[in-house]
């Protein structure tokens, strides 16, 4: 690879399954070096947990894999999985394993908190959305803290600081407790209306604001790197605020308002940058902040590529062995669901016939996963958004033909697949580059042309499949709700 044309920066993606680190040339966006190390997720039933020390070890390993380039970096930023609860003791050590975004044990606490604020505020369930932009589903950090208070009070009492996953790594680098507005907006205790922590909600949740990190504004530094033995970084380089994974990917794409993104990973998300503060009392859309001062309305499903791969494994099929047509509907709610809000529901299969093939069942799983995301698309986009704009398809699933064709068939829209694969890490790198160059990180990403990639023309809309899935969801509503009430 040619010698770098500009200063080098590091962007990190600390996701559910692994940590990736990219060393990027700020002038060209070329990835000079990369590294990756895995994490372990544990938990049965609705529990999903990881030891935060693993994240630090994985970051260290990933940076070492980057070789000498890591030591020449002039800034670093961390993008990380959203929502996770990381309780720390007075020495900064984890009190227990972190509860991850897809841990749904706090569903009862979610319902109770919504009801309590509605009663105290007098504005109904929409009170949360008016204050924070979102209803706090089981993914949100505030519900996990409420769960911890009820189920592990000793751990809660031992907690001297509460952090999000990306906060934890940033604080290990700098020694300073910080977060950013994008990730803070996924906690349930940060107000998108005031851009401050909501003390009424914190009191309701039994959490002192003294335990929370400082919210660093876009473009500011979260601190500088410390002398850390074993970490191949120079001490004294600036650390950008970092952000949650979806906000980082939006930066990585250099998104402009109204450009819709469909992210197909362990979870599925649909989002777009907006200049208007989103408020959805139904809870379908989360009214997140972005990392630049704007907004990132987003809808998320728990069951995406992992769930469909599980169906393929049960059928003993390759994940691409789909057959279009047939009558089955398969709603792959294998681990509960977030959109629609069914945290304890299980999957549903309907419409089997003698001539139903295994490939048609697999296609039905893809259809069920994509349907929920597309159903939320209109709520995510502003009214003046271009309805014919291409859907930017990202995440691991974007590389699969079956995922791409399912999105085209059920959306009726063109699809563009950016060639860049590590958009969260690239977004973090753009944020770090913004510090070094004094530029808007989204402008940096646009200059890097990160969204370039093949575009696929729209297919005819499969009205029959949309009708079939929609009616099945409506007709099976009582059954799904009954299943959802089971512990």
- Neighbouring CB atoms inside 10 A of 259's CB total 21
Q: Identify which has the larger pLDDT, 454 or 121.
A: 454
Q: What is the pLDDT of residue 184?
A: 97
Q: Cα separation of 401 and 131, whole Å?
A: 41
Q: What is the pLDDT of residue 38?
A: 96
Q: What is the pLDDT of residue 126?
A: 81
- Residue 388: phi, psi to the nearest 5? -105, 5
The H or E element that residue 238 is part of is: strand 238-239
Residues 94-112 have a mean pLDDT of 94
Q: What is the pLDDT of residue 365?
A: 97
Q: Cα separation of 45 and 385, whole Å?
A: 40
Q: What is the pLDDT of residue 345?
A: 80
Q: What is the pLDDT of residue 105?
A: 93
N-to-C CA span, the chain: 55
Q: What is the mean pLDDT of the chain?
A: 92
Q: What is the pLDDT of residue 340?
A: 79
What six digits make up the tokens of 55? 């994240």
Q: Is the pLDDT of residue 12 over 70?
A: yes
Q: Cα separation of 365 and 352, whole Å?
A: 13
Q: What is the pLDDT of residue 122?
A: 59
What six digits make up the tokens of 251? 């930066």
Is the Cα torsion angle 98, 102, 276, 416 positive or negative in sign?
A: positive
Q: Cα separation of 309 and 301, whole Å?
A: 15
Q: Cα separation of 74 and 234, whole Å?
A: 8
Q: What is the pLDDT of residue 5?
A: 85
Q: What is the pLDDT of residue 481?
A: 64
Q: Is the pLDDT of residue 381 over 90?
A: no
Q: What is the pLDDT of residue 283?
A: 83
Residue 427, C-beta contacts closer than 8 angstroms, at least 6 positions apart:
11, 79, 243, 247, 248, 249, 250, 251, 252, 253, 291, 441, 445
Q: What is the pLDDT of residue 4?
A: 75
Q: What is the pLDDT of residue 118?
A: 79
Q: Cα separation of 118 and 189, whole Å?
A: 15
Cis before 340 (ω within 30): yes
pLDDT tens digits along 296-309: 999 988 899 999 99
In this structure, the strands spanning 49-50 and 31-38 are unpaired
Q: How far, rounded to the nearest angstrom, does the alpha carbon of residue 348 sit from its chain's CA centroid?
A: 25
Model confidence at 354, in pLDDT bands (50, 70, 90)?
very high
Instruction: Please say whether the beta carbons of 273 and 248 come within 8 A.
Output: no
Annotated catalytic residue 245: yes
The tokens 């070096």 sit on which residue? 33
Exposed/middle/buried for 9, CB within 10 Å: 0-12, 13-18, 19+?
A: buried
Model confidence at 120, in pLDDT bands (50, 70, 90)?
low
Is the Cα torsion angle 464, 465, 468, 471 positive or negative in sign?
A: negative
In this structure, the strands spanning 161-163 and 86-88 are antiparallel
Residues in the chain: 487
Model confidence at 8, in pLDDT bands (50, 70, 90)?
very high
Q: Cα separation of 326 and 315, whole Å?
A: 16
Among the options 13, 198, 245, 367, which is catalytic? 245
pLDDT tens digits along 224-254: 999 999 999 999 999 999 999 999 999 999 9
Q: What is the pLDDT of residue 382?
A: 78
Q: Which of 27-31, 302-306, 336-340 is the most confident on average?
A: 27-31
Instruction: Please say whether the beta carbons of 348 and 333 come within 8 A.
Output: yes
Residue 381, C-beta contacts closer than 8 angstroms, at least 6 positions apart:
258, 260, 272
Residues 152-159 have a mean pLDDT of 97
Q: What is the pLDDT of residue 73?
A: 98
Q: What is the pLDDT of residue 474?
A: 83
Q: Cα separation of 241 and 179, whole Å?
A: 6
Q: For a pLDDT cut of 70, what percent of the chain falls above it?
A: 96
pLDDT tens digits along 407-451: 999 999 999 999 988 999 999 999 999 999 999 999 999 999 999
């Amino acid at each position: 690879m040619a010698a770098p044309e500009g200063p080098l920066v590091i962007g990190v993606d600390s996701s559910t399954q692994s940590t990736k680190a990219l060393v990027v040339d700020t002038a060209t966006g070329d990835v000079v070096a990369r590294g990756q190390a895995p994490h372990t997720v544990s938990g049965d039933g609705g529990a999903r947990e990881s030891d935060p020390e693993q994240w630090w070890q994985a970051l260290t390993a990933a940076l070492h894999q980057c070789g000498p380039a890591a030591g020449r970096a002039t800034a670093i930023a961390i993008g990380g999985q959203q929502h996770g609860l990381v309780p720390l003791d007075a020495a900064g050590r984890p009190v227990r394993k972190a509860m991850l975004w897809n841990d749904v044990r706090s569903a009862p606490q979610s319902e109770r908190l919504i009801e309590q604020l509605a009663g105290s505020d007098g504005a109904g369930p929409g009170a949360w959305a008016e204050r924070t932009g979102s209803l706090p589903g089981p993914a949100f950090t505030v519900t996990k803290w409420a769960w911890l208070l009820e189920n592990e009070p000793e751990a809660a009492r031992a907690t001297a600081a509460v952090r999000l996953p990306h906060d934890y790594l940033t604080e290990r680098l700098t020694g300073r407790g910080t977060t950013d507005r994008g990730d803070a907006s996924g906690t349930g205790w940060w107000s998108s209306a005031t851009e401050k922590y909501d003390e009424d909600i914190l009191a309701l949740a039994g959490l002192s604001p003294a335990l929370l990190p400082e919210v660093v504004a876009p473009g500011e530094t979260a601190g500088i790197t410390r002398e850390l033995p074993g970490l191949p970084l120079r001490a004294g380089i600036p650390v950008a605020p970092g952000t949650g994974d979806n906000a980082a990917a939006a930066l990585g794409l250099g998104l402009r308002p109204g450009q819709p993104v469909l992210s197909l990973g362990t979870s599925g998300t649909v989002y777009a940058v907006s200049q208007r503060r989103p408020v959805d009392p139904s809870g379908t859309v989360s009214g997140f902040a972005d990392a630049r001062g704007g907004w990132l309305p987003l809808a998320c499903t728990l069951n995406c590529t992992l769930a469909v791969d599980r169906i393929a494994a049960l059928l003993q099929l390759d994940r691409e062995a789909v057959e279009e047509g047939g009558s089955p509907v398969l709603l792959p709610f294998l681990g509960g669901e977030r959109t629609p809000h069914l945290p304890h529901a299980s999957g549903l299969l309907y419409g089997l016939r003698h001539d139903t093939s295994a490939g048609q069942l697999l296609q039905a799983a893809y259809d069920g996963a994509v349907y929920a995301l597309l159903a939320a698309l209109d709520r995510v986009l502003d009214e003046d958004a271009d309805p014919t704009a291409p859907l930017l398809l990202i995440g691991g699933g974007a590389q699969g033909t079956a995922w791409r064709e399912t999105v085209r068939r059920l959306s009726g829209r063109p699809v563009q697949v950016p060639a860049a694969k590590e958009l969260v890490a690239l977004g973090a790198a753009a944020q770090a580059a913004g510090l070094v160059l004094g530029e808007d990180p989204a402008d940096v990403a646009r200059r890097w042309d990160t969204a370039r990639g093949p575009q696929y023309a729209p297919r005819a809309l499969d009205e029959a499949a949309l009708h079939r899935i929609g009616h099945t969801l409506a007709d099976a509503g009582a059954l799904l709700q009954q299943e959802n009430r089971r512990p």
